[in-house]
A and B are shown apart, each in its own frame.
Chain A
């Protein structure tokens, strides 16, 4: 499938851009093979590959707790959840590949430290309650974003998001159930849940990215239907759903300025520490080094499997049956 894109210096660029934008306005999906502006392609590759890397790195903080799950039921849930994240990474790499970037190039960018991924995964998971809180708040924030992206104008990205949202709701629900259970539990369980909320609340709010006024990409992304809502809109949706639920559970939110605004029906949050956000993005978060090292180690230790499968395929001519 050839990738066809145009740049403003092309003689027919303006005309094609008009047709392209008219298609998006009509609610049509742009599919591989269709003409697109180079900038549309570039923005999508940036977003989708970062998103894919986030799913892959996102397995690490939770994977670390599989062997320490308190019951068999919780262990099975966590195994299934981490397995889902691996699958979500695959869906997204596939979507990015339809834009003409190879999976090798994307993995290389991740392992070399050149690529970005969601900064939330550079925080440590200190207790078992973090696993529930990640499901409830981190996946809760992710779902808000992903539900918005499921409506995006690029067909392959939209389809990956629809598939991911359907599976991610389980991640959100199991986390919420766990935290609510601990909130009703022993004083120690309660304290553990509160401690986890205290540590994950602000990083979860940062997941939607900078405020709209500091997000230079937003305008073009909204215009081309890649995003259908701004960072601040998605963040507000997240807070409006989760703040009252946390409070109802008898837990507190580590934001002294948080208040409900009668006029708008919104929960208004206090200032976000963007210095911390940019520090983590720049690679100085608590776990950046460990995460990257774990990815590199997994890739290196899997090399023999890739080599063995390749040798097996070369030896065997044809094994499966054609339709």
Chain B
């Protein structure tokens, strides 16, 4: 059995003012490969302006259930070495969605557990169902230059035949076939 390489979680930003959101994962040999694969897998459709990737093993994750069970504090081990930056991601809703956690900000801490505690204290605007804490130096971003952003993300936007609206005028509307239920039957006369 051959290797499929390490797993990388992918964060996609749809527009400049939206947060990076966790969309799924890819397998890749290095950060550059992970970003290229992420672009092919997750940016075939609009919109995207930026992507981040981080190795799955560099991500510290907790669900609300785990925190209630005390797993986060049991693992807490503060005071080790110097403080470093951690990116904080959070999920706040059970609503149907394409994405998991959203990037909400960053904290400085000496351990991931301390970073989680800081995040819980700082990001209190809504209840968190899941947290991801990632050391900032383990997150790699797509090239932000205008040229790369265009070449990576514009083709998906311009290929309108990939959108169902491109075929919108095909056949009758479904309601026409719902005998005795549609309102259109009555409206015609």
Question: Which A residues are within 8 Å of any B CB, using their own CB?
Answer: 1, 27-29, 31-35, 73, 76-77, 80, 83-84, 87, 90-91, 94-95, 97, 102-105, 107-108, 150-151, 155-156, 158-160, 162-163, 166-167, 169-170, 172-174, 176-177, 180, 240-241, 244-245, 248-249, 260, 262, 265, 303, 306, 309-310, 312-313, 316, 318-323
Would A80 and B137 be within 8 Å (CB), given that A33-B130, A162-B96, A265-B180 are in contact?
A: no
Chain A CB within 8 A of B121 CB? no
Q: Is the CB of A87 within 8 A of B31?
A: no
Contacts of B53 in A (CB 8 A): 320
Check A73 against B26 for contact (C-beta < 8 Å).
no
Compute how far the CA of A87 lies from the CA of B26 in the bound complex, rounded to whole angstroms.
10
Interface size class of B (residues with CB under 8 A): 35 or more
14 CB contacts below 8 A, A to B, read A33-B65, A87-B42, A87-B44, A94-B26, A163-B98, A167-B162, A173-B167, A241-B174, A245-B171, A306-B2, A312-B30, A313-B29, A318-B31, A323-B52
Complex contact A245–B94 (CB within 8 A)? no
Q: Is the CB of A313 within 8 A of B33?
A: yes
Cβ-defined contact, B25 with A94, below 8 A: yes
- Taking a contact as CB atoms under 8 Å apart, the answer to whether A310 and B44 are in contact is no
Given contacts A33-B66, A73-B161, A316-B30, contact A176 B171 (CB under 8 A): yes
**Contact, CB under 8 Å: A158 / B96:** yes
Number of A-B contacts (CB under 8 A): 167
Considering only residues 158-182 of chain B, those with a C-beta below 8 Å from chain A are 159, 161-164, 166-168, 170-172, 174, 177-181
Chain A residue numbers with a CB within 8 Å of B44 are 80, 83-84, 87, 167
Known: A80-B161, A166-B45, A320-B35. A31 touches B179 (CB 8 A): no
Q: Is the CB of B61 within 8 A of A32?
A: yes
* B161 near A177: Cβ-Cβ < 8 Å: no
Q: Which of B24, B33, B61, B129 contacts A160 (CB 8 A)?
A: B24
Q: Is the CB of B31 within 8 A of A94?
A: no
- B-side contacts of A180, CB under 8 Å: 170-171
In the complex, chain B residues whose CB is within 8 Å of the CB of A150: 96
Instruction: Decide if B110 is an interface residue (CB 8 Å cutoff).
Output: no
Chain B: minimal CB distance from A6 (Å): 13
- State in angstroms the CA–CA spacing of A282 and B178 once bound together: 38
Q: Which residues of chain A are within 8 angstroms of B137 by Cβ–Cβ distance?
A: 322
Cβ-neighbour of A306 out of B3, B35, B143 (below 8 A): B3
Q: In the bound complex, what is the Cα–Cα distance between A88 and B171 (angstroms)? A: 28
- Measured between beta carbons, the chain A residues less than 8 angstroms from B161 are 73, 76-77, 80, 170, 174
10 A-B pairs with least C-beta separation: A313-B29, A173-B167, A313-B30, A320-B31, A244-B177, A320-B140, A169-B164, A33-B63, A319-B32, A323-B139
What is the CA–CA distance of A322 and B162 in the complex, to the nearest angstrom?
A: 32
